[in-house]
Amino acid sequence: MTESLIIGIGSGNPAKVKAVEAGARSSGLDTVQIVSYNVPSGVRPQPINDEETKAGALNRAAACVKEGADIGIGLEGGVMQMEDGMYLCNWGALTDRSGKTFTAGGARIKLPDFIADGLQAGSELGQLMAALTEDADVRKKEGAIGIFTSRLVNRDEMFVHIALMLFGQYEYSLQEKQS
Protein backbone atom coordinates (compact mmCIF):
# COMPACT_ATOMS: atom_id res chain seq x y z
CA MET A 1 0.00 0.00 0.00
CA THR A 2 1.22 3.47 -0.81
CA GLU A 3 1.09 6.18 1.82
CA SER A 4 -1.27 8.34 -0.18
CA LEU A 5 -4.08 5.81 -0.42
CA ILE A 6 -7.40 7.52 -1.01
CA ILE A 7 -10.54 5.58 -0.25
CA GLY A 8 -13.55 7.13 -1.93
CA ILE A 9 -17.15 6.69 -0.83
CA GLY A 10 -19.71 7.48 -3.49
CA SER A 11 -22.17 9.28 -1.24
CA GLY A 12 -22.42 12.13 1.22
CA ASN A 13 -24.91 10.24 3.38
CA PRO A 14 -23.29 10.21 6.87
CA ALA A 15 -24.58 6.67 7.57
CA LYS A 16 -22.55 5.47 4.57
CA VAL A 17 -19.49 7.68 5.16
CA LYS A 18 -19.26 6.61 8.81
CA ALA A 19 -19.54 2.97 7.79
CA VAL A 20 -16.65 3.22 5.35
CA GLU A 21 -14.53 5.02 7.96
CA ALA A 22 -15.21 2.24 10.47
CA GLY A 23 -14.60 -0.49 7.89
CA ALA A 24 -11.32 1.06 6.76
CA ARG A 25 -10.16 1.45 10.37
CA SER A 26 -10.74 -2.25 11.02
CA SER A 27 -9.04 -3.32 7.82
CA GLY A 28 -5.29 -3.68 7.45
CA LEU A 29 -5.22 -1.00 4.75
CA ASP A 30 -2.90 1.92 5.32
CA THR A 31 -5.59 4.56 4.94
CA VAL A 32 -4.57 8.15 4.71
CA GLN A 33 -7.78 9.74 3.54
CA ILE A 34 -11.43 8.93 3.13
CA VAL A 35 -13.07 11.20 0.60
CA SER A 36 -16.78 11.51 -0.05
CA TYR A 37 -17.62 11.95 -3.74
CA ASN A 38 -20.97 13.19 -5.00
CA VAL A 39 -21.40 10.71 -7.85
CA PRO A 40 -24.49 9.41 -9.62
CA SER A 41 -25.71 5.90 -8.86
CA GLY A 42 -26.77 5.43 -12.49
CA VAL A 43 -29.90 3.64 -11.31
CA ARG A 44 -33.32 4.94 -10.24
CA PRO A 45 -33.47 6.86 -6.93
CA GLN A 46 -35.39 3.88 -5.56
CA PRO A 47 -33.92 0.63 -6.90
CA ILE A 48 -36.53 -2.12 -6.85
CA ASN A 49 -34.57 -5.36 -7.07
CA ASP A 50 -31.22 -6.87 -6.12
CA GLU A 51 -29.70 -6.45 -9.59
CA GLU A 52 -30.56 -2.76 -9.78
CA THR A 53 -29.41 -2.08 -6.22
CA LYS A 54 -26.10 -3.90 -6.80
CA ALA A 55 -25.64 -2.01 -10.09
CA GLY A 56 -26.04 1.27 -8.17
CA ALA A 57 -23.30 0.22 -5.75
CA LEU A 58 -20.98 -0.84 -8.60
CA ASN A 59 -21.57 2.40 -10.52
CA ARG A 60 -20.85 4.51 -7.45
CA ALA A 61 -17.63 2.58 -6.71
CA ALA A 62 -16.34 2.92 -10.28
CA ALA A 63 -17.25 6.62 -10.36
CA CYS A 64 -15.12 7.25 -7.23
CA VAL A 65 -12.07 5.75 -8.95
CA LYS A 66 -12.78 7.92 -11.99
CA GLU A 67 -12.85 10.94 -9.68
CA GLY A 68 -9.38 10.07 -8.37
CA ALA A 69 -9.80 7.55 -5.52
CA ASP A 70 -7.41 4.58 -5.31
CA ILE A 71 -10.23 2.45 -3.97
CA GLY A 72 -13.87 3.31 -4.61
CA ILE A 73 -16.72 2.15 -2.41
CA GLY A 74 -20.36 2.26 -3.43
CA LEU A 75 -23.21 1.54 -1.01
CA GLU A 76 -26.77 1.40 -2.25
CA GLY A 77 -30.10 0.79 -0.55
CA GLY A 78 -33.06 -0.72 -2.33
CA VAL A 79 -36.04 -3.00 -2.03
CA MET A 80 -36.88 -6.36 -3.58
CA GLN A 81 -40.12 -8.27 -3.97
CA MET A 82 -40.43 -11.80 -2.57
CA GLU A 83 -43.41 -14.13 -2.44
CA ASP A 84 -44.42 -12.94 1.02
CA GLY A 85 -43.83 -9.24 0.53
CA MET A 86 -41.27 -6.53 -0.09
CA TYR A 87 -37.86 -6.69 1.54
CA LEU A 88 -35.26 -4.07 2.27
CA CYS A 89 -32.01 -4.91 0.48
CA ASN A 90 -28.60 -3.29 0.54
CA TRP A 91 -25.52 -3.78 -1.61
CA GLY A 92 -21.94 -2.63 -1.54
CA ALA A 93 -19.14 -2.66 -4.09
CA LEU A 94 -15.40 -2.01 -3.96
CA THR A 95 -13.31 -1.25 -7.05
CA ASP A 96 -9.61 -0.43 -7.23
CA ARG A 97 -7.55 1.33 -9.89
CA SER A 98 -6.78 -1.95 -11.65
CA GLY A 99 -10.49 -2.68 -11.95
CA LYS A 100 -10.46 -5.44 -9.34
CA THR A 101 -14.02 -5.49 -7.99
CA PHE A 102 -15.82 -7.07 -5.04
CA THR A 103 -19.46 -6.99 -4.01
CA ALA A 104 -21.32 -7.77 -0.78
CA GLY A 105 -24.97 -7.89 0.22
CA GLY A 106 -26.36 -6.63 3.50
CA ALA A 107 -29.06 -7.64 5.91
CA ARG A 108 -32.65 -7.79 4.77
CA ILE A 109 -35.97 -7.60 6.54
CA LYS A 110 -39.53 -7.63 5.26
CA LEU A 111 -41.08 -4.18 5.17
CA PRO A 112 -44.55 -3.60 6.63
CA ASP A 113 -47.28 -3.86 3.97
CA PHE A 114 -48.22 -0.17 4.23
CA ILE A 115 -44.63 0.74 3.28
CA ALA A 116 -44.71 -1.73 0.37
CA ASP A 117 -47.98 -0.12 -0.78
CA GLY A 118 -46.37 3.33 -0.67
CA LEU A 119 -43.40 2.08 -2.68
CA GLN A 120 -45.70 0.51 -5.25
CA ALA A 121 -47.49 3.85 -5.52
CA GLY A 122 -44.17 5.43 -6.53
CA SER A 123 -42.77 6.90 -3.30
CA GLU A 124 -39.14 6.50 -2.24
CA LEU A 125 -38.48 4.59 0.95
CA GLY A 126 -36.63 7.59 2.34
CA GLN A 127 -39.74 9.78 1.95
CA LEU A 128 -42.04 7.16 3.47
CA MET A 129 -39.73 6.69 6.45
CA ALA A 130 -39.43 10.46 6.94
CA ALA A 131 -43.23 10.75 7.00
CA LEU A 132 -43.61 7.80 9.38
CA THR A 133 -41.02 9.01 11.87
CA GLU A 134 -41.57 12.76 11.31
CA ASP A 135 -37.80 12.95 10.87
CA ALA A 136 -36.54 14.09 7.46
CA ASP A 137 -33.06 12.75 8.24
CA VAL A 138 -33.98 9.21 9.28
CA ARG A 139 -32.25 7.76 6.18
CA LYS A 140 -28.99 9.35 7.35
CA LYS A 141 -29.24 7.76 10.80
CA GLU A 142 -30.99 4.59 11.95
CA GLY A 143 -32.91 4.22 8.66
CA ALA A 144 -35.80 1.89 7.95
CA ILE A 145 -33.87 -1.10 9.27
CA GLY A 146 -33.29 0.72 12.57
CA ILE A 147 -36.92 1.77 12.96
CA PHE A 148 -38.34 -1.67 12.17
CA THR A 149 -35.81 -3.51 14.40
CA SER A 150 -36.40 -1.21 17.40
CA ARG A 151 -32.92 0.23 16.67
CA LEU A 152 -31.19 -3.08 17.46
CA VAL A 153 -29.67 -2.92 13.95
CA ASN A 154 -29.25 0.59 12.56
CA ARG A 155 -28.52 1.65 8.99
CA ASP A 156 -24.92 2.74 9.68
CA GLU A 157 -24.15 -0.54 11.49
CA MET A 158 -25.65 -2.50 8.62
CA PHE A 159 -23.41 -0.59 6.20
CA VAL A 160 -20.37 -1.20 8.46
CA HIS A 161 -20.94 -4.93 8.02
CA ILE A 162 -21.03 -4.52 4.23
CA ALA A 163 -17.90 -2.32 4.29
CA LEU A 164 -16.06 -4.96 6.34
CA MET A 165 -17.02 -7.68 3.86
CA LEU A 166 -15.72 -5.51 1.02
CA PHE A 167 -12.41 -4.59 2.67
CA GLY A 168 -11.99 -8.16 3.87
CA GLN A 169 -12.41 -9.64 0.42
CA TYR A 170 -10.02 -7.04 -1.00
CA GLU A 171 -7.36 -7.87 1.60
CA TYR A 172 -7.78 -11.57 0.95
CA SER A 173 -7.15 -10.94 -2.75
CA LEU A 174 -3.91 -9.12 -1.90
CA GLN A 175 -2.71 -12.01 0.27
CA GLU A 176 -3.87 -14.75 -2.06
CA LYS A 177 -1.08 -16.96 -3.36
CA GLN A 178 -0.98 -17.03 -7.12
CA SER A 179 -0.94 -20.63 -8.34
Ligand X SMILES: O=P(O)(O)OP(=O)(O)OP(=O)(O)OC[C@H]1O[C@@H](n2cnc3c(O)ncnc32)[C@H](O)[C@@H]1O
Contact residues toward ligand X (CB under 6 A) are 11-13, 16, 45-46, 76-78, 124-126, 129, 138-139, 143-145, 155
Closest to ligand X by CB, 28 vs 45, is: 45
Minimum Å gap between C-beta 102 and ligand X is 18
Minimum Å gap between C-beta 147 and ligand X is 7
DSSP secondary structure code for residue 46 in this structure: S
Closest to ligand X by CB, 6 vs 115, is: 115
Closest to ligand X by CB, 88 vs 164, is: 88
Closest to ligand X by CB, 78 vs 118, is: 78
Exposure class string for 133-168: b at 16+ Cβ within 10 A, else e: beeeebbbbbbbbbbbeeeebbbbbbbbbbbbbbbb
What DSSP string describes 114-148? HHHHHHHTT--HHHHHHHHHT-TTGGGTTHHHHHH
Minimum Å gap between C-beta 163 and ligand X is 14
Tell me the pairing of strands 101-105 and 71-82.
unpaired
